[in-house]
Amino acid sequence: MFEGHDPYLVALSVVIAILGGYTGFGLAARIRGTPGVSRRVLLSGAAGFLAIGIWTMHFVGMLAAPIPADASYLVLPTIVSFLICALVVGVSLFFLSIGEPSQRRVIASAVLLGAGIVSMHYVGIHGLAGNFAIEHDTAMVVLSVGIAIAAAYGGLRTFLARQDGIRLTLSAIAFGIAVSGMHYTAMHGMHFVPRSDAAHQHLAGGLAASPQILSVVVAVLCFVIAAGFLLSLVPDPRRQMTAAAAVAPDPAAEATLAVASPDAGAAASFPRLTSAPLGGLGQPPRAAPVVRLPIEGADGTHFIDTADVRSVRADAHYTRVHDGTRERMCPWSISEAEAQLDPGLFVRVHRSHIVAIPHVTLVRKEGDGAVIELDGPSPHRVPVSRAKIAEVKARLGLARRNHHA
């Protein structure tokens, strides 16, 4: 497959595809938690970087290939190949960014993305002009399409699983494999057939660019992708603030835990306290809890009663609200959700999880922490951190208490 190719340019093409995937997926990860114009800007940026990554990888791979010396690149097909790529990637990301992506939608997006990568490749290939014709092996064409769709599905599935650094890296690598694997498989089945000068003069009309000019364009785009990748590594101040708020201890919860724990020492001599914030001890009074949570859907923002909420899970800048059947996206951060929910009904059991105490059906110790199961048509389980076990037991009436005044 790589016979006659420049190995350094082949390696560079794969790296470019991975960096473009990492940058594009990193921007796409923020789409679902961003409303309005910013959402469209992120979608455009994600589609742009992914398309640039695909297109640049393709032409770096072309520069690495042993193509005829008199070959030039027709400008119109070359530009059209990029536009096809950008359009298809943008539509795929749009399908995945609205509401909860179903399995059918993920498969459709993977097929669309894979088909877009293949279309971009063959349109770009037939932008080559010279004293030759291009022929393709049918088996290699079919195999390249299969590789593109399968690897695109793997990249999207990994991307949707969870947006932490490791998953984002894995999805970028799968994306790089989808693009470069498809490209070099297709190149393996491509053959240059000499033809007459008359036919060449008849078919090679139109504005063309030399490989040297293409090399300059590709080098500039490589720098664009590298710059975008480096910028994507810069920490987001808003994410740091959210993470700090999520990790920071809640004074009210600590006070409750101290009273509820049987090992609280002198605190056990005080009467039983509720889990409400201790506003009378110098803390500002808490705002009235909300009765509904906003939920983002494909057609706009809906609202769900807090009585139907089973759990809230942190997911980057926003949260996932489980109503006993499925999870849906809420634009609030985990800290905002904790501040808005009724502390008499909800408790933060983990830095990334809040649960509704009335819906708890099972609690079980697991490792250093515990696991809670919540009711509903689709029961689900939530982890409890070790520091929160005593508070959870107290809220469930399981903690042994000292009733001596």
Predicted confidence (pLDDT) per residue in 238-277, tens digit? 444 444 444 444 444 444 444 444 443 433 333 333 344 4
Coil vs helix vs strand at 44: helix
- Classify 99 in phi/psi space as left (phi over 0), alpha (psi -120 to 50) or beta: left
Predicted confidence (pLDDT) per residue in 354-394, tens digit? 999 999 998 888 877 889 999 988 888 899 988 888 888 88
The count of other CB atoms within 10 Å of the CB of residue 209 is 17
pLDDT mean over 8-23: 84
Contact 71, 211 (CB under 8 A): yes
- Sequence-ordered list of residues with C-beta below 8 angstroms from that of 14, at least 6 positions apart, any chain: 57, 176, 180
Domains and CATH numbers, the chain: 7-234 (no CATH), 243-395 (2.40.50.1020)
Segment holding 26, helix H or strand E: helix 7-28
Contact 158, 124 (CB under 8 A): no
